[in-house]
Amino acid sequence: MIGQTANFQSRSLNWKTVLFLIASSSSVTMAIYLGVEIYKASSDPDDAKPRNVFLPLWFSFDWPYQRRYAFPTYLKYIDMPYFLEVESSPSFEDTLQEKSIQYQVLDGLFRLAVVRDLFGIPLSLKSQENDTFNIWIEPKYPTVHGPQVRFEKQDGKLQISWQWTIKLLHWSAIDTFLTGMGKKLDRMENSDALAKTHERGSGRVHEVVLPTDRKLRLDVCGDKDYKVVFQGTFHVSHLSEKPCGLVGYTGVIDFNHLGICQGARIVKLDMVVEGEEGETLYILT
């Protein structure tokens, strides 16, 4: 028994040693790579273009649980145009909850026959102190985290700065990596090829010169590599002010329809109603 315990500890120690060696070798490799880049930048007699070096420290993916990043903090790492738009409105989350989401929830309730039959219409929603509201970011792809170091030479002096960076790993990123090695998955990315083929086949003009602000808006809209998910509750009552229950909702930001209620789209609705025999849960959508 003692021999088995000692043998188990030995195997455990060996695994720790292996992990330590892997981490150490990775750190040494990145340090050498960074040192070489610094040497190249400092030895260049001319003021060369700025260089960016990304040092991956760890990978993250949806296992064993779904990743959730703070909104809007992490937007600045993965979607700067949308981050700037959110930051330009100090009351963005309040407006989203109290107007856009509330309207979408109320519209969803009005459309359900079971709600009209149970409570009648019109209904009203109110946000009370014990109501909840949470909003977060869920990446669709694995992510790699680490510092990005920037080298810039001005007037013969080398300036070094860094910032924390999160990169999403998907096929286009792999294609870019292979291109740097002299290979490419395809001569044209699928999204570009399909878009141009579809547009030419339909006879539509696909090249337009747009103002700067319009271009920024196009960067904000469209499909994203992540989801913005929100969840919360509202108290429901009839216009007679008689309480009807508590409605819970889950939704996402639809970036293809940002002009409608800030893109808020409800994907799940349920309601808890208090009656004489206790609480009843209604799964509405």
State residue 191's pLDDT score.
46
Map out the domains of the chain as residue ranges.
69-139+223-284
pLDDT mean values, one per 10 residues, the chain (285 residues)? 50 66 74 78 71 86 85 94 92 94 93 82 85 96 90 80 87 57 47 44 42 51 92 86 84 93 95 81 87
State residue 222's pLDDT score.
83
d(CA 129, CA 131) in angstroms, rounded, equals: 6
Backbone angles phi, psi at 179, to 5 degrees: -60, -40
Tokens at residue 79, please? 């979607």
Tokens at residue 103, please? 């309207």
CATH topology of domain 69-139+223-284: Nuclear Transport Factor 2; Chain: A, (3.10.450)
State residue 168's pLDDT score.
86
State residue 204's pLDDT score.
42
Residue at 130: amino acid letter: N
d(CA 201, CA 171) in angstroms, rounded, equals: 26
d(CA 284, CA 230) in angstroms, rounded, equals: 17
Do residues 164 and 69 touch, judged by C-beta distance below 8 A? no
Query: What is the pTM assigned to this prediction?
Result: 0.70
Q: Which residues contact 60 (CB under 8 A, 6 or more apart)?
A: 67, 142, 143, 144, 145
Pick the closest to residue 265 from 235, 230, 213, 241 (CA basis). 230
Tokens at residue 56, please? 């991956």
d(CA 133, CA 28) in angstroms, rounded, equals: 45
Q: Which residues contact 206 (CB under 8 A, 6 or more apart)?
A: 195, 196, 199, 200
One-character DSSP codes across 13-29: HHHHHHHHHHHHHHHHH
Give start and end residues of each alpha helix (H) in the chain.
Answer: 2-43, 75-78, 80-87, 92-95, 102-110, 113-119, 171-180, 190-202, 212-220
Pick the closest to residue 217 from 258, 263, 261 (CA basis). 258
Is the four-CA dihedral 255, 260, 264, 267 of positive or negative sign? negative
State residue 179's pLDDT score.
56
d(CA 131, CA 235) in angstroms, rounded, equals: 8
Q: Which residues are registered as beta bridge partners of 51?
A: 151
State residue 208's pLDDT score.
40
Tokens at residue 45, please? 């007699």
Tokens at residue 166, please? 């999160």
